[in-house]
Amino acid sequence: MTNGNQPPAACLIGWPAAHSRSPLIHHYWLRTLGIAGGYVIEAVPPDEFKDFIFRLSLRGFVGANVTLPHKEQALALSKPDARARAVGAANTLWFADGELCSTNTDVEGFINNLDASTPGWDIAEDALVLGAGGASRAVVFGLRERGIKRIHLANRTLARAGALADQFGASVVPVAWDALGDILPRASLMVNTTSLGMKGLPPLDIDVGRLPPHAVVADLVYVPLDTPLLAAARARGLKTADGLGMLLHQAVRGFELWFGQRPEVTAELRALVEADL
Ligand code: ATR
């Protein structure tokens, strides 16, 4: 409790205020765990962000999620852990010994979703990651933390893949988009971090039939939930991990840091959020 007798509350800070499933997720856990607490959305323009988070505790918040366009500022204004530093962006803030700390929960969200959806995926020696933006950094860092031997990084703009590979070292190799075909037969894990396949955008033009039969295919896109990529992979008998699973698993750590209990990603929660997509 940070403010009088108010129950602890966290918020999602973004600009402009966009529709988010986070309140639904955190309210579900508060309710099912019987914790008196809150989670609200705060629309904060970029030039007010610094002031807002310096007064976060005074405003009665025990922590926050941070979304566009504030994730880089959040990193600079807090004490980031290794994950937030590696990704170059923070999406979760909390207080430890009075200090504002930050992390990037996409890393564990991605990995824990794979563990839950496709156990055994980590025998992968060669992983193929498509895309080289912010989401890709979290995925690549998670795969490296997990010790995956070779990460092939393909991106429309090859220079961006090259820059990311330079940051992460020899285990990450940039691949030109039109050379993808050479990697597919070796990739026992393929991850889409691009926006392709999202509602309103064209699908990824990749023949999943060229992946090995034991391959796992993960997509970070979750609208639609069943992306053309995941549908094609399943039709081929491949195992899949979807973007909604990652969204739910990335929310776990924030809740634990703010409210002191580690919540479960249940089938009931999944169904609840799925109905809101
Ligand atoms: P995020 O933070 O979600 O990763 P981002 O940093 O904007 O978002 O990155 C978007 C990714 O999707 C990039 O890898 C982008 O490729 P470029 O670096 O070449 O821009 C990829 N992407 C977006 N639209 C694409 C398209 N039409 N074809 C191929 N890749 C696309």
What is the pLDDT of the chain when averaged over all its residues? 96
Share of residues in the chain with pLDDT > 70 (%): 99
Q: Are domains 9-104+246-274 and 107-241 of this chain identical in fold?
A: yes
Share of residues in the chain with pLDDT > 90 (%): 95
* 50 is an active site residue: no
Half-sphere exposure of 228 (CA within 13 A, CB side): 13
67 lines ligand 1 (CB under 6 A): no
Domain boundaries, the chain: 9-104+246-274, 107-241
d(CA 260, CA 277): 28
130 lines ligand 1 (CB under 6 A): no
131 lines ligand 1 (CB under 6 A): yes
- Residue 1 confidence (pLDDT): 41
8, 39 contact by CB (below 8 A): no
- Residue 201 confidence (pLDDT): 97
Cβ contacts of 275 within 8 Å, gap of 6 or more:
none
Please check if 193 is assigned to a binding site: no
Task: Average the pLDDT over 113-118 and give the result.
Answer: 98
Please count the residues of the chain: 277
Task: Average the pLDDT over 125-133 and give the result.
Answer: 96
Pick the CATH number of 9-104+246-274 from 3.90.1150.10, 3.40.50.10860, 3.40.50.920, 3.40.50.150: 3.40.50.10860
What is the number of the ligand 1 atom nearest to the C-alpha of 202? 27
Q: Name the closest-CA residue to atom 22, ligand 1.
A: 194
The pLDDT tens digits for 195-238 are 999 999 999 999 999 999 999 999 999 999 999 999 999 999 99
pLDDT surpasses 90 at 96: yes
Q: Which of 175, 193, 194 to mutate to test the pocket of ligand 1 (most atoms within 8 A of CB)?
A: 194
157 lines ligand 1 (CB under 6 A): yes
Please check if 243 is assigned to a binding site: yes
- Residue 4 confidence (pLDDT): 59
d(CA 182, CA 154): 12
Tokens 């429309």 locate to 156
Task: Average the pLDDT over 99-122 and give the result.
Answer: 98
The pLDDT tens digits for 18-53 are 889 999 999 999 999 999 999 999 999 999 999 999
d(CA 63, CA 249): 18
- Cβ burial 248-272 (10 Å sphere, 16+ → b, else e): bbbbbbbbebbbeeebebeeebbee
Cβ contacts of 226 within 8 Å, gap of 6 or more:
242
What is the number of the ligand 1 atom nearest to the C-alpha of 160? 18
pLDDT surpasses 60 at 71: yes
- Residue 16 confidence (pLDDT): 92
Distance 7 CA to ligand 1 centre (A): 40
How would CATH label the architecture of 107-241? Answer: 3-Layer(aba) Sandwich (3.40)
Q: Name the closest-CA residue to atom 7, ligand 1.
A: 133
155 lines ligand 1 (CB under 6 A): yes
- Residue 17 confidence (pLDDT): 82
pLDDT surpasses 60 at 2: no
- Residue 40 confidence (pLDDT): 97
